Every structure is written in C-alpha cells, then in structure tokens.
Amino acid sequence: MSLCVSLAFACDTGDTQNPDTAAPEPVEDTVTEKPASPWSYPVARVSPQVDDLHGVGIADPYRWLEDLDSAQTREWVEAENAVTFGYLETIEERAAIQAKLASLWNHERYGTPWQEGDRFFFSKNDGLQNQSVYYWSESFDGEPKLLLDPNLLSADGTTAVGSLSVSHDGKLAAYSLSDAGSDWQRWKVRDVATGKDRPDLLEWSKFTGISWTPDNKGFFYGAYDAPTEGDEFEQVNKNQKLYYHQLGAKQKADKLVYADPSQPDWQFDGDVTEDGKWLVIDVSVGTDVRNMLYVAALGRGGAVSGKVVKLISELTASYTFIGNQGGVFYFFTNDNAPRGRVVKIDVGARMKAAAAAGDDGAGLPALVLDEVIPQDPHTLQSVSFTGGRLFAKYMVDAKNEVRVHDLAGKLERTIALPEPIATVYGFGGKQDAKQTFYGLMSFTQPYAVYSYNVDTGVSTLWREPKLAFDASRYETEQVFYASKDGTKIPMFLIHKKGQKPTGDSPTYLYGYGGFNISLTPRFSVPDLIWLEMGGVYAQPNLRGGGEYGEAWHDAGTKLTKQNVFDDFIAAAEYLIDSGWTRPDKLAIGGRSNGGLLVGAAMTQRPDLFGAVLAGVGVMDMLRFHLFTIGWAWTSDYGSADDPEQFKALLEYSPYHNLVDGTSYPATMVYTADHDDRVVPSHSFKFAARLQAAHAGPAPVMIRIETKAGHGAGKPTAKQIEEWADLWGFLSDQLDMTLPPEF
C-alpha cells in the first residue's frame, strides 16, 4: 500500500484493495519542518502510519503519542507544557482571576444528609479543602463527629472518596478510594464509632456501588480480575463479576454471585431490597441506556438461595429498581414510554414460576407490566420510594419539577421548590421515613439543603452556603432556537440583570450532547467568575442528552451524531444573529464527550468562534474503542469496525478533519496524563495535528495536568489553578477587560 495522506487524513485505496489485509509495511519515520509562526511549538515527529479501514487508507501520523510512557512522549509533554505555561504566565489578568476563584470558592457547603439506623450522615467542605469531609451525628441537628477526612490520605489531595455506603444499623461505612483521578477504586470498611478502618480491602473495582445485606455482615460489589504479569492494562476492563464480601474475609475468599464469561462486556451491579429478601442484579453493557434485570432470593444472612432468575433478559429498554412491597416490585422504565413511566411487576410470582419450570426464567412468557405512573408530556428523570410514596422528578424544558404520588400512582402534590429554574437532588430514605432531604441549586444560587416532611409536604431550610457573590445582579432566561433541520432547541442564557444584546459581549457557549446526560441548571464557581469578568454564559440542551427522553437521546447517537454538532453550531449562530456576541468574542467549551463536541464544531466551522476550550475530549473517533473503557461508548458513537458507522465517524472525527493551511480559533486543549477514561493520547494527537495544520496567528496549545485524571475527585487547588488558566486564556484571546470592581 502506498503512503496515502490527505488533508482529512483519509483516502480511498481503490476497489481492488482488500479491506481485510494487514496494516501497511512500516516506513521510516520522518520529521517535517513547520512554517513560520508567531508561536514556537515543539516539533512533533510525523510517522507514515496508515491503516486500512474498509478499503480506505487512514493516516495516523501521531500514533506514537499513544505510548504514554515512552521517552519521546514524555519529552513532548514537557516541551508542550513549557510553551503553554510560558504563555499563560504572560497574561496579566490570570493572577487576579485565580485570586477571585479562590475567594469565591472559599465558602462552607454541605452534601445532602441521609439516615442509617439512628445515625445521620453528611459531607461538608469548609471552603478550600481539596476534598469534602464525611461526618455523622446521633440526631438530625446533633454535634457532628468526624467519620472520614480524605484530605489526610495524600499530601496533595489527589486521593478521593468515590462513594460511601453505610450499613443498615449505621455502625459501619464501606468507602471507595481512587488516586490521581483514576476510575479504578479500592474499597475499605470503617467503624463509625471509632473512626478506625477494619482490615477489609477490595481492589480492581470500578463503575459499581455496594449493597449491604440485612445482617450488616457483608455486602455485594462488582470487580474485575486483577491483571497478571504481562497483561496489557486495558485487558482488565473486561469480564466484570458480582461478588459477596463477608466482613473480615480476604478478597480472594469472596463468593462469586454472578458472572457470564460468554459476555465479557457485561457489567453487574447488585441491589438488596430494603426488606433484605431479594437481590436485584442490574445487567448493563457499557454506556447503553438499555439494561437487563436478574433477581435472586436471599436466605439467612443474605446468602443467595436458589437460582438467579432472569426477569428482563434482552436489551430492549431501561429499567431502574425503585423499591418493593413483598413480591411486588416497582420500576422506572422507558419501555413503551420514551419519556419514562413507573410500572410494577409481580416478581414473587415470576420466581415461583421459574422454580416450577426448573429454569432461569428466560423461557417464561412475557412479563406483565402494571402501569402505576403513565408517561407524561414531560420527561421523567428519576423516582424514589420514600415514606410510603413515590417521589417523581421530571424535567420541564430542562428544569426540574418534583411530584409526589401514592403507591397506586395518584398524584398527591407537586412540591413548591424555592427556585423555579433549578436542579434538584435527593428525596431518598426508607419506606417508613417521616422525613427526607433534598438539595437544590441554580446557575447563580449554590447548593442549599432542605428537610422535607413527607406527611405535610413542608420544606425547611437546613443548610445554605454563604459566599461573597451578589446573585441579584444576574438573571437567567431560557430561549429556544431552530437547529439546521428545524428542531427546536432550548438554551439557558445567564448575564447581568437588564443586559441587552449589543453584539460585542464576550460569550462562553458550553455543551455536552451525549449519553442521555441532561444539562440542567448547575451552580459552578468558575461560571460565576466568568459572569463577574463581564461574560455571558450560554448552555444549550443538545440532542444526544436526555432532556426530552430517549427519542431525544437517540437522535444524537451513531449515524445521527451530526445532529449534536448542528445543534451546537446553530446555538452559536443564534447568539450572533440575536446580537449577543460576534465570532471573535465567542468562545466554546466542553469536556469529555463535550470535548469531542467542540473539536467537531471547530473543525467544521472554524470561522464561527474566537476561542475553544477542549477538555479531556474524545478526538480520535476511529480508535477510541481500543483503549481502557472506550469500548463501552459504542452504544452512543458506533464503531469503526462497522463499515457504515465508520463512514459517519470519519466525517466528524476531530483528529481526522483538521485541514492543513486553515486558520483555526485560539484553542486550549487540556487533559491529564493519568486519565484512564478518555486516555490523554486523544488530546495529544489532536494538539500535535492542530499545531501542524494551523495557519493563523492565534495560539493553539495544550495544557497537560500531571497526577490527575478525567475530573472526578480533582482537588480544589488543582481546579482553581486550571480554571485560572482557562479563563485567563479566554480573557487574553477575546480581548476582555476585567471590570474595575473585579
């Protein structure tokens, strides 16, 4: 095969080329001289690597940057950081922005409390602590006692708690820890009263919770096999298994509850019913919103008795277990209801029928779903079974509304929320609870926590952060605009109260658009700083998210993924056409799937934006499925292994659609060298190719954080440093002048 490199990194190899042939013969690497530029970037080695995908030659000149630990890659990272931070240090506004971030971040804040046994548990951050601290008390407003302080586990705050689950009697807390932002977690168990850890240690766990048995002597959890010597790290992301851990036992003695070696991509998560009689096993495949459900009866001490019965054995819809009354189980599902509904199933009868048939239930007649809460014009987001009632949280044009139903589905009330444009979390608790808790936040109001009387419906403020920010100076409005195909898309705009479009406001357009994830109003200190800098913040609800149910999500996946980019580009055009801003004052940003979003938008419409912040993005859409957990994203993206999906992926893959000689917007790619979800090679390759292709005067740089991961658990100090750099970059490139009062 001849070396075949086009501007789009792809060229037809001809009809006679066998797409199943091996990769081309290796050719000696070359180094190309770069044209003169106002910015001196490190020279990245250009490799003649070409892959044959379905008869198309795909050039991958920076494949060598996938070897994250090679000396060449490390040298390149150091050289790129030297250029990037050398530039950032010249930005005068950066220090003021960092000081303002630290000042505003320094406020006391609480997580939503919950009760186990006679004890209450909650998290709290004093302000600038790198990680929130967990406390417990003997009563609702009792004296807090320290349970777990993650800040003591590492000097730089990079060891974080992933999740924490307390036993039913409130005496033990199982918690997971991760280092440097890794998805991999290890579980430990702490005695609540003494604050001392037990010897239990469970490793090689990710994307799983734990569920305690009713005797408080153990719990169910998911884990992968530890890699053996010589294994590639990626191989441990297959064949997850569900285990039962008995307190005090070594992990190697844990009992295997369920696994399916024939399905290495399946993941299993166990949930013990509140009455302790059943184990509900959620069976998922990567990020596919559809799942399967298995059920097992639990005997003495929480041991599985009898066979695991397949309640839902095909990927046809999503099902979430809500709670049960005896053998009658309640589920939140999108089965025949793309915007969601609540159904109940007589699981007890199903288990008896499976036992009588002597099989696992897969051969039984179709399940009967008894509808409790029908599909609504608005999207049902989640449901909890608390205090003998069903708390149903809806999205009404991406804003939350909470309705309370009885178990027959009758509406009792719609909760009067303190903020009309807000996001709500909580309403958990036991089935006999008289009190529950919820938290609420908006774009300009921090997360406040309320207690809620289940019988009277009265909300009482429990904790509300106080910070040096005058929310009354700003307002939030929601607009609707037409995408390329005419679809109506909602977008939140946050700006100074009374501000009118003048055509020159620095504007930050942030998006995501994928994996059924909804962008509802959220409180963010960095976003407040952007407002204080004089900027306008815009957040559209793109297809691919879950704001309008599964149909909305599906319309932004696989062969229709381009809809997401069209929605985002149309949002930018709306902001310009309506007079809020102009291209040289418009910045776009996104992280992870949102990094893909802005990468695709800037390659498709480089003329439309003044600056780009591309965080931990999926930039190589032809190879993402080959690294760590990337295979799990094919439910949204598709795979280059499929000929038709390959064509769609190649059309928008940011790495493959950079064109030599193009003037691209000022761009800051940012990633972390320990990101084991979206591996940093995506950003490395994209940045190297962007610097080679770019012909304009604007800087196109990459900021590479060390000892950090994808984002979860990132220490407060590192967040402040990162956002000071990002906002500093935008202030310089959008030619912003900080207000005198900043």
Q: Which residues are marked as active site? A: 592, 710
Tokens 């305690």, residue? 212
In contact, 308 and 320? CB cutoff 8 Å? no
229/76 Cα distance (integer angstroms): 29
Strand arrangement of the beta sheet that strand 172-179 belongs to: 159-166, 172-179, 185-191, 197-205
Helix (H), strand (E) counts: the chain: 11, 40
Question: d(Cα 161, Cα 138) in Å, to the nearest integer?
Answer: 23
List all residues 6 or more positions away from 685 whose beta carbon is below 8 Å from its beta carbon.
60, 62, 63, 65, 66, 619, 620, 655
Cβ count near 175 (within 10 Å): 22
Type of residue at 318: S
Judge whether 338 and 379 are in contact, CB under 8 Å: no
Residue 41 corresponds to which tokens in the numbers above? 């970037």
CA atoms of 519 and 521, how far apart (whole Å)? 7
State both tokens at 164. Answer: 């924490």
> How many residues are present in the chain?
742
Do residues 425 and 438 make contact, with C-beta atoms less than 8 angstroms apart? Answer: yes
CA angle 271, 275, 278 (to 5 degrees): 45
Give the C-alpha separation, 220 to 211, whole Å: 5
At position 502, the amino acid (one-letter code) is: T
Phi/psi of residue 455, each to 5°?
Answer: -80, -45
- What token pair was written down for 511? 């998006």
Give the E-state strand segments of 483-567 in sequence order: 488-496, 507-510, 536-540
Between CA 553 and CA 557 the distance in angstroms is 7
Q: What is the DSSP pairing of strand 56-59 with strand 109-110?
A: unpaired
